[in-house]
Structure 1
Amino acid sequence: MERDACLRCMNNTQGPQCQQCRPGFVGSALSGGWCLPCRSFCRGRAHVCLSRAHLERHRRDPARHPLEAHLLHPWVPEGPSEAQAVCVNCQDNSVGDRCDTCRAGFFMLDGTCTRCHLQRARRHLQRAGRHRVPVPEQHRERRLPRAQRLLPAPGIPAGGASGGCGNRP
């Protein structure tokens, strides 16, 4: 049985029955699903997203598989599903598959990865010629046994999943 083909796909879809997302878009076009622009999927912090398999192809041969958005179409036939999508080259000090985590030394504040304030103050004073920087009382670490200092704060995953400004032991 032969199926009819769509004449014009809408909503960032492609394929004979508009069943795929176009490159540069993420999601599932099946059953009324959506194809989001990578920029939206990546929280405004990346322009390109690929499936894990396509990202691996790029890593193996970056010359043949460039990451510039306008060069994806020849080697990326369709946009990835949300489960397989990986944001590429996250900006604004973010990292993670969806650019949803902050780099070390940054923390999430109102949706933006913000440099840890204490580090900024120390760096500023060091540039001014003061090498030993006093730590304000409210930021001083209580002297706990070393094992307790290495544990994350309650409700914060070990490893700093949201970046972090934790004290170093």
Structure 2
Amino acid sequence: AKFRTAEPIDDGKGCGIRQPIEVSEALPGIALGGAAMRCKTALAMAHWLKDTVQPALNIAMPGRRIAGIVPGSTYDCRLRNGASTGKISEHARGNAIDVAAFKLDNGETLEMKPRAEDSTMEGAFQRTATAGACLHFTTVLSPGSDAAHQDHLHLDVLERKNGYRYCR
């Protein structure tokens, strides 16, 4: 990964990252655009891309390579789902990243969207990448899993009791 350490973020109200990094590449050649997050989040992202996403793409679209991630929300001081009341979002702690799309080395962009019934190779790739994310992240909300997650894949590393994971 290519990253730089950044100044601590403290936006009050429980928001912030004590030791943030700004990730320009999640893995060599996979751009992430300087997204701010905790090291643990970046590490989970790198393992997921290397162990699940690229191998799935190799099968779905032989010869293609992931060249970048189009992030949705990364660090953002807000409540879950942008609500006005409720629990603080993992985005507000640097524990989460939303993936809006994958950029491929041929210039194509694979947008994240509900694909439960999509029988194309793109659909199979997205479902495989999403399912595999649960091996690396503790929360995975796939496109279409709820009203707030129609056009992106939410990934976070929230620590829960007994190693519980929430994957939809």
What TM-score do the two structures reach when normalised by structure 2? 0.26
What TM-score do the two structures reach when normalised by structure 1? 0.26
Relative to total residues, which structure has the larger strand share, 1 or 2?
2
Q: Which has the higher contact order (CA 8 A, sep 6+)?
A: 2
